[in-house]
Amino acid sequence: MANTAQARKRARQAEATNQHNASLKSALRTAVKKVKKAVVAGDKTAAMKQYQESQAVIDRIADKKVVHKNLASRTKSRLSQAIKGMAAA
């Protein structure tokens, strides 16, 4: 346990930051799942629309350095490939 006032405050701040970052990561995973669900459904136009919305979420979270920019880039690339691999609907 923290002994000084400064250490106690930093512990409180760290807990709040961790909760906030966890919620952002959850939002990222949800955005990815929505695109994957649209791809599985086979609707290319809906998948593209969902991808564009998710792309903004992914970039915003990467800009805040919650996840690494390369992870964000890799995720977007894989989703894009999945959409391109779909038959035109």
Domain map (residue ranges) of the chain: 5-84
Residue 83 near residue 34, CB atoms below 8 Å? no
For position 50, what pLDDT does the model report? 96
- State yes or no: pLDDT of 89 exceeds 70: no
What's the predicted TM-score (pTM) here?
0.84
Residue 31 near residue 54, CB atoms below 8 Å? yes
Q: What is the dihedral of CA 85, 76, 29, 58, to 10 degrees?
A: -150
pLDDT in tens, 26-84: 999 999 999 999 999 999 999 999 999 999 999 999 999 999 999 999 999 999 999 99
Q: Which fold has domain 5-84?
A: Methane Monooxygenase Hydroxylase; Chain G, domain 1 (1.20.58)
